[in-house]
A and B are shown apart, each in its own frame.
Chain A
Amino acid sequence: DGGITQSPKYLFRKEGQNVTLSCEQNLNHDAMYWYRQDPGQGLRLIYYSQIVNDFQKGDIAEGYSVSREKKESFPLTVTSAQKNPTAFYLCASSNTPDGMGGYTFGSGTRLTVV
């Protein structure tokens, strides 16, 4: 079955470390998105990509970086510059650049700073 795979499900980071969250899709979708979810805050957009080798900053891009070298993959790096990285991270994809068909979401990665 097609879908989005996020790994790992749980991730622990020490202060000052960079960590990379994986997002892979086999849906042949062009557009991919990263959202951060905090309790009571809903989903906030970090980065998104409409096409390979191109991506745009979302509302809370500071302290994060992404790459889109392959259509199937859109990894998110949480850098040491992100002061409060503990959160639930969700990756999504869309079969159209405008998202009109709705998004397919992965099951998320919970990142905790220790």
Chain B
Amino acid sequence: AQSVTQPDIHITVSEGASLELRCNYSYGATPYLFWYVQSPGQGLQLLLKYFSGDTLVQGIKGFEAEFKRSQSSFNLRKPSVHWSDAAEYFCAVGAGQAGTALIFGKGTTLSVSS
């Protein structure tokens, strides 16, 4: 069965500092991986996705993520965090097959300090 683990419940980063949010997945085949962001009381917005090709993927808002098969990881990074990046971030995995749905991690809350 697929599963997603986000080891960090809450992270605080200083504005301008770099960010890395961790995501580990469990899946037998090549997974389809996603990162979403959620502002308080809102729906989720897709940041980026990976399902084949270059293991470093670029997303919106200056985010990138790297797929590492050997580590079963798909960590999200940003070189310089802005106060507006404070939100909850979710990693998700999918089988990429009709009749299935995405499995989400429990999320990491990002706080940005000035």
Flag whether A16 is at the interface (Cβ < 8 A): no
- Chain B nearest CB from A110 CB (Å) reads 8
Q: How large is the interface on A (under 10, 10 to 19, 20 to 34, 35 or more residues)?
A: 20 to 34
Q: Which residues of A contact B90 (CB under 8 A)?
A: 42-43
- Chain A nearest CB from B105 CB (Å) reads 6
A53-B9 Cα distance, complex, nearest whole Å: 39
A:23-43 near B, CB below 8 Å = 33, 35, 40-43
Q: How large is the interface on B (under 10, 10 to 19, 20 to 34, 35 or more residues)?
A: 20 to 34
The answer to whether A100 and B94 touch (CB under 8 A), given A42-B105, A42-B106, A42-B107, is yes
Q: In the complex, are the beta carbons of B9 and A99 less than 8 A apart?
A: no
A71-B49 Cα distance, complex, nearest whole Å: 26
Q: In the complex, are the beta carbons of B9 and A58 less than 8 A apart?
A: no
Q: Can you list, as one digit per residue, whether each of B94-110 has a CB less than 8 Å from chain A (1) or not (0)?
A: 11111111111111000
Question: Across the A-B interface, how many residue pairs have beta carbons closer than 8 Å?
Answer: 71
Selected from A50, A90, A99, the residue in CB contact (under 8 A) with B43 is A90
Flag whether B63 is at the interface (Cβ < 8 A): no
Selected from A42, A50, A103, A106, the residue in CB contact (under 8 A) with B99 is A50
Selected from B36, B43, B96, B106, the residue in CB contact (under 8 A) with A100 is B96
Q: Which residues of B contact A33 (CB under 8 A)?
A: 101-102
Q: In the complex, are the beta carbons of B106 and A41 less than 8 A apart?
A: yes
Q: Which residues of A contact B36 (CB under 8 A)?
A: 105
Q: In the complex, are the beta carbons of A98 and B96 less than 8 A apart?
A: yes
- Chain B nearest CB from A37 CB (Å) reads 9
Q: Which residue of B lies closest to A105 (CB)?
A: B43
Q: Which residues of B contact A107 (CB under 8 A)?
A: 41-43
Task: Give me the interface of A with B, judged by CB distance under 8 Å.
Answer: 4, 6, 33, 35, 40-45, 48, 50, 56, 58, 90, 92, 97-108, 110
Closest CB pairs A-B (n = 6): A105-B43, A97-B98, A42-B106, A43-B104, A102-B46, A105-B44
* New contact pairs (8) apart from A42-B105, A97-B98, CB-CB < 8 Å: A4-B43, A42-B106, A90-B44, A100-B32, A100-B51, A100-B94, A102-B46, A105-B43
